[in-house]
A = this chain, B = another copy of it.
Amino acid sequence: MQLKRADVVTGALTLLDTDGLDGLTMRKLGALLGVQAGGIYWHFTNKDALLDAMADRIVEAVTATPLTEGPWDARLAEVAHRLRRALLTHRDGARVVAGTYVLEPNTVRGGEQAMRILTDAGFPADRAGWVLFATMYYVLGHTIEEQAQQAQGDWAQRGSGLPDSELSRALDSVVRADPEERFAYGLDLLLDGVRLRFPGGRS
């Protein structure tokens, strides 16, 4: 049975879950697929191209089902939540996606979808682009940190090493919070700003 491009991506995501992004090597992936490391290069020109394909696979779930109807801000929030969930599906998923400025199918589809939410609501295209990217920075940053905490529990300890101070309480509040609640809070800060600038005023 021959190896297909999609099989390589699937295997790579399996390896990602067990060994993490830093443990993902072409040799280990070859072993997992029953192939020499060099053989992978027939399917992908290099490791970065494989990572791009992995990122696009991770992001597939975001556009898999149609969005619920509703006001633009609720729809944009849903996209953000879907993206977070998709990133959390695989170990280091956020880092994988953040590291690739891809224009592969699912990534493009998701971007189009989000842009249309804003432009349909009357936002000019250029400002909509700025809003979209700002939102992406937040989602990726938040989720990268979430997964960093998951990986190494030492995150919580580091704060305790600090003398009792403003910052140590900030770390505490971040570490101890329900991640989803904290995510929604920060997203809402941003969306408030957008709502204020929305041509139709507050929604």
9 extra interchain contacts, Cβ-Cβ under 8 A, other than A127-B173, A129-B171, A129-B174? Answer: A101-B148, A101-B155, A103-B161, A111-B167, A126-B177, A127-B185, A129-B172, A130-B177, A191-B193
Bound together, the chains give a CA A121 to CA B4 distance in angstroms of 58
6 example contacts (A-B, Cβ-Cβ < 8 A) are as follows A111-B167, A116-B166, A129-B169, A129-B170, A134-B189, A192-B192
Q: Does A67 contact B (CB under 8 A)?
A: no
Chain B residues with CB under 8 Å of A98's CB are 144
Complex contact A186–B130 (CB within 8 A): yes
Q: Decide: B158 and A115 in contact? CB cutoff 8 A.
A: no
Size of the A side of the interface (Cβ < 8 Å), in residues, is 54
Question: What residue of chain B has the Cβ atom nearest to residue A116's Cβ?
Answer: B166
Bound-complex Cα distance A111 to B168 (A): 9
Question: In this assembly, does A194 line the interface, its C-beta being within 8 Å of a C-beta of chain B?
Answer: yes
A174, B103: Cβ atoms under 8 Å?
no
Q: From DSSP, what is the main secondary structure of chain A's interface residues?
A: helix
| A119 in contact (CB, < 8 A) | yes
Q: How far is the CB of A103 from chain B (nearest CB, A)?
A: 6
- Contact pick for A112, options B136, B165, B191, CB 8 Å: B165
Q: Across the interface, do B129 and A186 meet the contact criterion of CB distance under 8 Å?
A: no
